């Protein structure tokens, strides 16, 4: 059997969004996405780095990931001659930080290994369902009437849960409007992307009136104690996102009472193996988890759907259909069933490969790194 990884191609693609997507961190009209292709003697595997163009969500950004991958992470990977995804994190541990870049490496190695043995991501991770309920994330809109139109369209498409991005000045009124228009039965949650501080507890308490599933990351990412204090001041369950970077931090947050729900984003925590460990910690403590999204292409979306089929994922995640963000995806589209579910991929590895024509059309630059 030949080497699993003999060389790595990095590919930066730029994909226009169907509509501008606004959060408290800013507005995006297109997405720079770094893809990683591991090439070996018996095939290839694909990874997707979710670092954004600018370091606004986290300290990582796409071109920074290119640099650390070319200079450090890929050479370490090739020198180690890894044969499984479980070897990746220990090999890359000498480099501090850069979880999104490391997650892309692990994802590509895992995809290659699973394709080689004919096993799907879902089978490997421990999926217990063949399909999962899908939610959708709605960015900050220019007006409340525009918000109601967008939310109504997603409900008509069949999405089972709506997440509204909020920020100071765009919180109570839009949430009230959505609840009044679409009723108490709608599964509704909000995401602050760390836009508030504890002094805003009075405003956040007003959201208790709307029977939300959760409020996601209201305070700064390193404010676990402050989140624990906020949990005692509001009824709406607090979900942590940016604060959870590992199974260890998840255990700390649970112990402190800072989170009753956790959003798991594999890229943020360094990969799907650590994401599964966070799931296991939360599940053991009776804490619900759901799978967040980072505007992934069909590659990353399929991996997230497989992860979200584990038993502890009891809330609909940001696992929308391919056409939510992109008019043309890199892979065959992920589609929404009539009753608001998406199917867990069953093919080897990710269950799909990028379309070469789409890759060519969207590619901005490529780099090749091998062991020579």
Q: Which residues are the active-site residues?
A: 165, 265
Burial class of residue 14, CB neighbours in 10 A (0-12, 13-18, 19+): middle
Give the ranges where the chain is alpha helix by DSSP (H).
62-68, 74-80, 88-92, 99-117, 121-125, 144-157, 172-182, 201-206, 224-231, 247-256, 266-269, 272-284, 298-307, 356-362
Phi, psi of 33 (to 5 degrees): -130, 130
Residue-wise DSSP of 9-62: EEEEEEEEEEEEEEETTEEEEEEEEEEEEEEETTEEEEEEE---SSTTSSS--H
Q: Are strands 187-191 and 215-216 parallel, antiparallel or unpaired?
A: parallel
Q: Which two tokens stand for residue 69?
A: 């991958």
- Looking from the CA of 270 toward its CB, the CA atoms found within 13 Å total 24
Those residues whose C-beta lies under 8 Å from the C-beta of residue 312, and which sit 6 or more positions away, are: 279, 280, 282, 283, 288, 289
How many whole angstroms separate alpha carbon 29 and alpha carbon 311?
A: 35
How many whole angstroms separate alpha carbon 254 and alpha carbon 256?
A: 5
DSSP label at residue 348: S
CB 43 within 8 A of CB 112: yes
How many whole angstroms separate alpha carbon 230 and alpha carbon 318?
A: 25
Phi, psi of 295 (to 5 degrees): 55, 40
Q: Which two tokens stand for residue 275?
A: 């994401």
How many whole angstroms separate alpha carbon 65 and alpha carbon 50?
A: 10
Distance of CA 97 to the CA centre of its chain: 18
3-state secondary structure of 277: helix
């Amino acid at each position: 059997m030949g080497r699993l990884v003999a060389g790595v191609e990095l590919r930066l693609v730029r994909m226009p969004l169907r509509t501008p997507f606004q959060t408290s961190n800013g507005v995006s009209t297109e997405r720079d996405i770094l893809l990683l292709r591991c090439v070996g003697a018996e095939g290839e595997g694909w990874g997707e780095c979710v670092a954004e163009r600018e370091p606004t969500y986290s300290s990582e950004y796409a071109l920074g990931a290119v640099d650390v991958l070319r200079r450090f992470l890929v050479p370490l990977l090739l020198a180690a001659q890894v044969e499984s995804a479980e070897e990746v994190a220990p090999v890359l541990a000498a480099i501090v930080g850069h979880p999104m870049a490391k997650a892309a490496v692990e994802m590509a190695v895992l995809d290659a290994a699973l394709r080689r043995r004919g096993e799907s991501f879902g089978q490997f991770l421990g999926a217990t369902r063949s399909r999962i309920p899908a939610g959708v994330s709605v960015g900050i809109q220019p007006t409340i009437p525009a918000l109601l139109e967008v939310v109504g369209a997603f409900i008509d498409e069949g999405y089972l849960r709506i997440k509204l991005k909020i920020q100071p000045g765009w919180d109570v009124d839009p949430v009230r409007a959505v609840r009044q228009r679409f009723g108490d039965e709608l599964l509704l949650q909000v995401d602050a992307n760390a836009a508030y501080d504890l002094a805003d507890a009075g405003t956040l308490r007003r959201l208790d009136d709307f029977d939300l599933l959760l409020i996601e990351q209201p305070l700064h990412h390193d404010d676990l104690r402050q989140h624990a204090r906020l949990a005692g001041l509001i009824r709406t369950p607090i979900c942590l996102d940016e604060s959870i970077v590992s199974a260890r931090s998840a255990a700390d947050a649970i112990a402190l009472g800072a989170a009753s729900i956790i959003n798991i984003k594999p890229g943020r925590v360094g990969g799907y193996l650590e994401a599964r460990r966070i799931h296991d910690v939360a599940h053991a403590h009776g804490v619900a988890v759901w799978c967040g999204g980072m505007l992934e292409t069909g590659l990353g979306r399929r991996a997230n759907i497989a992860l979200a089929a584990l038993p502890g994922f009891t809330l609909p995640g940001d696992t929308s259909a391919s056409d939510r963000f992109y008019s043309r995806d890199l892979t065959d589209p992920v589609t929404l069933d009539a009753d608001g579910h998406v199917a867990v991929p069953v093919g080897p590895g990710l269950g799909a490969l990028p379309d070469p024509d789409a890759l060519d059309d969207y590619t901005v630059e490529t780099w090749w790194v091998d062991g020579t």
